Every structure is written in C-alpha cells, then in structure tokens.
Amino acid sequence: MLLLSFVNTNAQYRFINYNVSDGLSQNSVHCIFQDRDGLIWIGTQDGLNSFDGKSFKKYRANSLDSTTLSDQFVLSIEEDNKGFLWVGTRNGLNKLNKQTGKFSRYYLTTEEKNFINSPYSKLIKDNAGRIFLSKNNRKGFINKKGEVVALDTIANPFVFAVIDENENLWGFNFKKKKLCTIEKCYSNINTSKVIFYDFPFVDFSIDQLKFEIDSNQILYCYTSEQNGRIAFFNTITRKWEKQIVELQAAINQIYFTKDGKGWVSTDNGLYQISQTKNGFQLIRVETIGVQGSSILCTYQDKQSNLWVGTANGGLSFHNLSFNNFSITDFNEFGATVLKAVEVNKKRWVATSKGLFFFNLINDKQSPSKSYFDNKKISAITIDNSNNVWVAVDREGIYVFNLLGRQINNFSNRGSDLKLEGVLNLFCDSSGRIYLATESGFFVYTADNSWIPFVDFTKNKVNTGKYILSFFEDVQKQIWVSKNLGIDVYSKNLALLFSISSAKKEDKISRTIITGCEEDAEGNIWIATLSNGVYKYTNTGFKQYTTANGLSGNIITGITKDKQNRIWVTSSTGINIFNRKQNQFYTLSTNDGILTADYFLGGLSKNDKGQILAASSLGLVVIDADNYFINEKNVLARINEVKVDGQNVETNFSKLQLNAGFKTISFEFALKEAFQPEKIFYQYRMVGLDTNWYLLSEESKITYSNLPSKNIRLEVRAAQLPQKLVNAPIEQLYIEIHPFFWQTTWFWVLMIILLNVVTAWTIIFLNKYKQQKFAQVQQKIQDERTRISRDLHDNIGAYTTALIAGIDQIKGKSNDTDELNGLSDYAKSIMDYLRETIWVLNHEKISIVDFTDRFKNYAVKIAKHYPQLSVNFITDLQNERVLTPELSLNLFRIMQEALQNACKHSSATEIIIGFMSNDIIKLFVKDNGVGFPFHMEASGNGIFNMKKRAEEIKFDLSIGRESLGGINICVAEK
C-alpha cells in the first residue's frame, strides 16, 4: 500500500451560518437531512430541529413523555416512503409523525428498551424504499410497511455496515478482523453467502471505523482516530486500491453529492476527495463563513445547496449563486463601510474609521494600506485618470494615484470651497469633479478652480440646496439629486429644467431624491427616500414601491448593469428590476445574500461591471453580469393543519374529521429548503369559495364553523402576484363527517318513524273526529227535529188558527179584500215555515230534491199571478248533495228572486233554471220591465240575497236581458 497525504490546493466556498442565536437548539450539528416537503432537519447534541429557511422548530427529549425523542443526542435522520421521519439517537430509534409532532419509539430487540446507550448512528435508504439500520452490535431494516426487522446471526459481528446497489451488505467483522460482505442480505440473511477480505490496516479501535460507498461502488473505509486514514475497496472487482490517504486530523464523515464529489469532514476543516488518473487526492476547502474548523458532517439538498454541520459552530450552507456575491466586513477595525471604488483590481474603501486600500491582484482579502485612521471618509470617487478623490469629514479633499501616493489636496481655507456636510463626490465624462454638500455643490474644472453652485434663488422651481448625488446621461446632461427635487444641467452647466418633489401634488410626491440612472431606452430612473422608485419617460412618471416587489420604499442607491438591468438598494435589502415581469425582485438568503441595511450614497461599479454596495454587513460585491433571477415556479405545500389548536394528521392529501370542532387552521410553506424573501400565496376552499384569496404577508389561514360536507383546500404560490394564475396547485381533500343526527340515514329513519307516527295519529284522530262528528251531527239532527217539531206544534198551530179565524171573519165581514190580504200573508208564513221545517228535517239534500221542492213552491206562487207563465229549465248532469245551510240559503235567494219577478216585473213569463255540471248554477229570468235600480242598490231583499250568496261562497249577479226583463243568477264560485 502507498501512503499519501492530501494535495494542499485550496477550493473556496462561501457559506452563510446559523447558530443558537438564530434559533438552532444547539451548535454541534451531527446530521442533516431534507424531507420530501423541502424542510431541512438538523440533528444536534440537544435535540432535533426543522428549518424552513426562515425559522427553526425544535424537538427535544422528555423522559416523562413517551411521544418525544428517546434521547436528545441525534445521530442520524431518514424518511420513509410514507413521509414519516426516522431519527436515530444515542439511545434508541424514533419515528416522527411530522403532522402531529409526536414520536414513536422502536427497538431491534426487546432487551433494548432497558439499555442506557443504544446508538443508531446511520440510516441508509435503498432504491426499494427500505431503510437499513446500522449499529455496532446489531443490524436491521425498516420494511415498506414501516416495521423494524432485525438481521440476525451472521450480521451481528458487523461494524458500521453499508449496502451497495446490488443489496450486498459490507462491513467489518470484528471477530475475524476482516472486511466482510453478505450477499443479497435482504432475501434470507441466515442462508446468504458470506465472503471475507483482508483489511489493509488493523491498528485502530473498532468503534472508530466507518464506511461509505460512492456512485462507482468504491467502498471508503476510514477512521475517526486522531490521524484519520482512508482505504479504498472496489466492490465490483473485489480488490483494494493501492493507496491509503492519511490526514493529520480525525475524519468524522465522508459524503458524496449528486455530482460525484466526495466531501471529507474532519476536525481540521473540510476537504474534497476525488479519483484521478494518478489515484485519489484531497483538496482543502476554504469555508468562508463557517464558524470553527471542526466539521462533523456535510449534506446536499434537492436544490444543490451544500450544508455543513460543525462542532460548536452551528449550521452553515452554500449555494452555487453565492459565487456571485462576496462580503468583506470591517468588524476587526470597528468600522462601518460608507462607499468603495475600484479600478484595475485596486479597491479603495471609505469607512467611518478611515480609508482602506486593497490590492486585489493577488486575491488579497486584507487591506494593504490604511489612511486617515479613525477619521470619517465622507465621499470618494475615481477620476478619468484613475486617481482617487477622497473627502475627509470637515478637513479637506485628497487625491491619490493608483499606487496610493497623495498627489493633491484641497481645503476651504482661502477659497469658496465649503467642506462642511460633504455628501458625495462625482466625476463626469469630461473629467470635472463634483462635490455635493448640504448647502449646494462645487465643480472642479480643468483650470484648477472650484465653481460654486450655492445660490438657487433665481431658479423657477425650488428644489432645495441639499445635494445628495450626481448622474450624467448619454446627452452629457448632469442630473443633480436634491432634497426637494432634481435640477438638470447642460454639459456647459447651464440649468435646463427642474423637477419638483416638494409638494404632495407634484408628479414625484413630497420626498427627497437620492439618485438617478438611465436605461438603454433613455428612460430615467429616479430613487427617492420614501416613495420607492420612479421611471421617467416621454409619457410621464411610473412609480414602483413595495407593492411592485421592492424590499422597501427608502431607496439609498441606484445603478445599472451591463445587461441594462436596474439595481437599487434600500434600507432593508437589494433589488433588481425584472423587465419581463415589470416588477422588482428582492435578493434573499436563497440568492446568497443576507438581509441588510444598505447605506445612502454607498453604491458604485468597478471597471468589470461588478456592483459595490456599502451595507451593515460590510462591503458587498455583486458579480451582476453573472447573476440571473430565479424565475422558476415555486411549489406550495400545506405545512401544518391544526384543529382547535391541536396538530392533526393528513393521509395522502386527505383529511377526515368529525363534526363538532370550532376552528381549523392551515399553514403554508414552499417545497424548498429556503423561502424567498417575498412570497405570495393564494387559496380557496372549493365547495365554499368560488374566488381565490391572496395572502401577501401571512402564510396562515383559519376557518371556523365549517359545514359537514366534502370540501377541498387548494393553495398555490409565486414570487409575483401575476404569476399565481399559472402556478402549480397543492390540494387537500377534507371530509367532515356530520353528527349522527345530521346524517342521511338518521333522517331517513326519522322520516320513516315520523311517517308511521303521523299515519297512526291521523288514523286515530280521524276515527276520533268521525266519532265526535257523528255525535255532533246526531245532536244537530236531534236539535233540528226538536226545532221543527216546536215550529210545527207551536208557530204552525198558531198560524193555522190565524188562517181559520180570518176565514170565519171573512164570512161575516164585507171588507173581504183586506181579509184576503191577511189570509194570503198567513198562508205565506205557513209556506215559509213548511220549507224551513223541510230543510231542518233533512241532514243532506240532493240537488234533484232541491229542484223538485222549489218547482212545487214556484207553481204554488204562480197560481196567485194568473197572467204569469212559469217555465223551468233543468240540466242536472252532476248529482250533488247539499248541506242544510246551503239548501236553505239557495232556497231563500231563489225565493226572493221569484217574489221580485212576480211582484215588480210586470212580466208575462218567468223562466227558472237549475243546472248542476261542474258547478251549481240557478237563475230566475223574466220578460218584464224589471225593477228600478234604486231597489237594486238599496232594497233589503237584494241586500239579503247578496249576503246569503257570500255566506255560502256563491256569486250573485243581476243583469238585464237584451229584449227586456231581469236575470238574477246565483252560481258556485
């Protein structure tokens, strides 16, 4: 064997770090994993953490709660095909239901429940979805059903085994002290073929030996001893490589990313390992931003971010886009960066504690020189000769060449130059230097003189005198940004026009102008201190604010890259204009830049097109030309469901609930390791909502008093509101089971029962009513009989006697006419009485009997009127039965009509009609002269006829015939 040390060639990676101050439970990170929902899971010495790119959620052990971790020291993490998370700890194996936050504990043997140290240091998921469990003294796997299956007998002597792509189990047999493989270990391990191979070194502790296998099926055998060693075994050829790599540090982990790179985590930093023509070599990785040098683990997520766990240094991650950004902090000098300029790899940084010079030719990250120690550098710029102009606060202006030698200086002694309140320095294309102050500006010309521009009283528009910045457009016009607007000067420094921002009604409404920039189309972009950004075109002004994607409306700087993209800095971040979407995009941690406060006037570009920005993080350098906005669709997910405040479990995008809960809340996230700085969610509850509802600030919704029915929650997400329409939709089907009394079967049963009870009640009531009705009818009939008998016996007797007396008087008296009249009246009374008795004596009267009775009556009446001819029309097609009340009222109406015709019509013919078809219709019609209309309107007879008709719900009509006479008709409604 050939023993080689590593090749000391640096590979530089920049990381962003998270630790306990950011919410991590503990700073020693032993394992990292990303689940299918995009969450990052971190195992530490004090619990499990989940991380969504914004915040950490902690899961700790509690000896009094069996639904928590079995031990706080987390060593390994893996996810099964059902979405459950398996967590190996220093003492026990746990399964986490992510939706409820509850753990279940599992054991390879029953005796393990009583162990105080039973570590599960590695979990490996194979292509079939099984999870292999590796312990120092036991092996097993979790099958597709989620059951823990022990691998017995010959697997027991294994140490830290792995499985290759052919399901062969590899490890170290500590009894034979040899490399060992059990072929097809999942089939029947007790009958599997076992093969042994000599091990290249034996002077190590068994618990310090570890294994890993790469995509080429090379087995890496390494040790975590003080001087770590790596041996390489080809599992295909079954031969050892003729090389051993040794490090002057303990090797904690070897991990392979999707691109085949091997990452070696050691107590002395991070290395890359790769196989070349000359064998295996190690490359030391310079991990900028990682806290500490003891690396415990590495992990690559689905978005190709590289995560690094350290001992006591927390969690760090790197993204490929981070190469477009670099940060130089000046914390060691206690200085705040105010602005930087750069040309020909010479960088000058103005700070609150002096001027720092960097020579970047040799990629030096530390300043070569410093000037004006502990003095504030108010402004800095580079002229056309690459000389650097520096304004020292309240002291003077100094000029340096590229070698750092001072070649000139200016003060306000003996000149009109005022150096109090210097805010900016600028050089135009003609070489003139502009100095911005709080009371105007000064221009340094070729004749070595400063021209003051401090008197603005003659300007037509008051734009103030507080100067913030300068900008030169393609027409050589100078745009001067001021506290109350903008002044635009010609190349000869003659004022052309002004734009006011002093008043609320101005096009740029009441704000301070902080800078200007021009795009390739000739549009002027104007940065403000409170209103965001304005685009000034031939047609007017277009405003962009946080509603259009900006991280904030306080804009501190503005510039343009070589791709004609507008970049602006704000007090809360850095933004780039997306021309396709007509929106600003805020750069976030996902792009490789942390949220920071960017300082006023602190933006510049170097000769390579890189953007230099002064911020609270330090000097941020952006490789703008190589940066591209990530415009991919983001995938929303339902991260958490709570019913009445308690987490509930969903089953494959389906949730079943019983009625009775008050509130249900849903929390949304993205299926990514990092959430963008701004994300817009849209949701709707299909079955309740018809419209989509937008969430711009929150990612959580709550419903209350949901009905018992099948509904579906839909959610989608995008980084811009207009992209939501085409965004992918995540769905959750919700089935709310009603109370038993709200179910269909319950109501069917109740309806059947109610119908039975109702039918029985109706039958009972009908029988009861029939009995009561029969009793009442009998009583009524008895009463009628009594009344008719009384009428016959009393009034009838008296009337008969009266008639007899009148007849006797008639024989003795000569006044026979008057007596005949009395006799007629008495006989009429008797006739009425007989008709009444006839009706009372009959409970039911048919229409035929009624007709016959009235005909008899009419014939009797007609005898008293010899001039009259009474005829009858009868059409009784429908036999009807009349009640006594109806019979009596109809009889009286017809009786009154007949009497009127006989007495008042002077008719010679009366026709009486009886009809019973669909309705009953009776009429009395004559051919006489009729009776006067005043009788029709006011007569008691007519009035009584109408009242009787109303009582029995019949219509009474009185009409004149075309040939004369009256037709009185009563008809059923």
What is the per-residue pLDDT across 840-857, written as a single tens digit (0 to 9) for each? 666 678 999 899 989 988
The amino acid occupying position 798 is Y
d(C-alpha 683, C-alpha 739), whole Å: 28
pLDDT band at residue 368 using 50, 70 and 90 as cut-offs: confident
Query: Would you say 200 and 178 are in contact if contact means Cβ atoms under 8 Å apart?
Result: no
d(C-alpha 413, C-alpha 434), whole Å: 19
Structure tokens at 193: 């073929």
CA atoms within 13 A on the CB side of 331: 5
pLDDT digits over 163-201, tens only? 888 888 888 888 888 998 888 766 655 567 788 999 998
Return the DSSP state at 118: B
d(C-alpha 529, C-alpha 865), whole Å: 117
pLDDT for res 840: 62
Classify strands 654-658 and 730-737 as parallel, antiparallel or unpaired: parallel
Sign (positive/negative) of CA torsion 175, 176, 178, 182?
A: negative
**Among the listed ranges 372-386, 615-629, 816-830, 843-857, which one has the minimum average pLDDT value?**
816-830
Structure tokens at 484: 């109350």
User: 3-class SS at 858?
Assistant: helix
Share of the chain above pLDDT 70, in %: 88
pLDDT for res 411: 84
pLDDT band at residue 270 using 50, 70 and 90 as cut-offs: very high
Query: Would you say 584 and 544 are in contact if contact means Cβ atoms under 8 Å apart?
Result: yes
d(C-alpha 456, C-alpha 498), whole Å: 11
d(C-alpha 51, C-alpha 673), whole Å: 8
Classify strands 239-246 and 3-4 as parallel, antiparallel or unpaired: parallel
Long-range residue pairs from 692-698, CB within 8 A, at least 24 positions apart, any chain: 692/724, 694/721, 694/724, 695/668, 696/721
d(C-alpha 275, C-alpha 350), whole Å: 46
Residue that has been written with the tokens 């998921």 in this structure: 125
Residue count of the chain: 973
d(C-alpha 131, C-alpha 151), whole Å: 12
pLDDT band at residue 160 using 50, 70 and 90 as cut-offs: low
Above 70 in pLDDT, residue 968? yes
Return the DSSP state at 477: P
More confident residue, 359 or 592: 359
Structure tokens at 108: 């390879």
Degrees (nearest 5) of the Cα angle 60, 63, 66? 85
Segment 634-649 shows an average pLDDT of 89
pLDDT digits over 4-25, tens only? 444 455 677 888 899 999 999 9
Phi and psi angles of residue 581, each rounded to the nearest 5 degrees, phi first = -90, -10
d(C-alpha 48, C-alpha 43), whole Å: 5
Rg (CA), the chain: 54
- List, in order, residues 6 or more apart from 755 with CB less than 8 Å away: none
- List, in order, residues 6 or more apart from 194 with CB less than 8 Å away: 154, 180, 181, 182, 183
DSSP 388-420: EEEEETTTEEEEE-TTS-EEEEE-STTSS---T
Residue that has been written with the tokens 């030096």 in this structure: 364
Query: Would you say 942 and 950 are in contact if contact means Cβ atoms under 8 Å apart?
Result: no
pLDDT for res 819: 64
pLDDT digits over 893-916, tens only? 998 899 888 888 888 999 999 999
User: 3-class SS at 955?
Assistant: strand
pLDDT digits over 305-344, tens only? 999 999 999 999 998 888 888 888 898 899 999 999 999 9
Q: For the chain, what is the largest distance between any 2 Cα atoms, rounded to a whole number of angstroms?
A: 174
Q: 3-state SS string over 181-214?
A: EECCCCCCHHHCCEEEEECCCCCCCHHHEEEEEC
Query: Would you say 851 and 921 are in contact if contact means Cβ atoms under 8 Å apart?
Result: no
pLDDT digits over 755-803, tens only? 999 999 999 888 888 888 777 777 666 656 656 554 555 455 556 556 6
**Among the listed ranges 260-264, 369-373, 890-894, 922-926, which one has the minimum average pLDDT value?**
890-894
Segment 884-888 shows an average pLDDT of 85
Query: Would you say 301 and 673 are in contact if contact means Cβ atoms under 8 Å apart?
Result: yes
Above 50 in pLDDT, residue 1? no
pLDDT digits over 486-515, tens only? 999 999 999 999 999 999 999 999 999 999
- Between the alpha carbon of residue 723 and those of residues 201, 323, 643, the distances in Å are 60, 28, 31
Share of the chain above pLDDT 90, in %: 52
d(C-alpha 140, C-alpha 134), whole Å: 7
| Closest C-alpha to 960, from 882, 895, 907, 921 | 907
Around Cβ 600, how many Cβ atoms within 10 Å?
A: 23
d(C-alpha 472, C-alpha 475), whole Å: 8
pLDDT band at residue 461 using 50, 70 and 90 as cut-offs: very high
pLDDT for res 587: 87
Above 90 in pLDDT, residue 126? no
Around Cβ 107, how many Cβ atoms within 10 Å?
A: 18
pLDDT for res 526: 98
Q: What is the mean pLDDT of the chain?
A: 87
Structure tokens at 783: 């009463």
d(C-alpha 765, C-alpha 772), whole Å: 10
Sign (positive/negative) of CA torsion 163, 164, 169, 173?
A: negative
**Among the listed ranges 29-43, 191-205, 591-605, which one has the minimum average pLDDT value?**
191-205
- Between the alpha carbon of residue 528 and those of residues 337, 538, 743, the distances in Å are 22, 20, 63
Query: Would you say 468 and 486 are in contact if contact means Cβ atoms under 8 Å apart?
Result: no
What residues form DSSP beta bridges with 714? Answer: 684, 731
Residue that has been written with the tokens 């990452």 in this structure: 263
Segment 681-701 shows an average pLDDT of 91
| Closest C-alpha to 854, from 823, 887, 830, 826 | 887
pLDDT digits over 522-560, tens only? 999 999 999 999 999 999 999 999 989 899 999 999 999
Query: Would you say 466 and 482 are in contact if contact means Cβ atoms under 8 Å apart?
Result: yes
pLDDT for res 934: 47
d(C-alpha 454, C-alpha 55), whole Å: 52
Classify strands 92-97 and 102-106 as parallel, antiparallel or unpaired: antiparallel
pLDDT for res 826: 60
pLDDT band at residue 593 using 50, 70 and 90 as cut-offs: confident
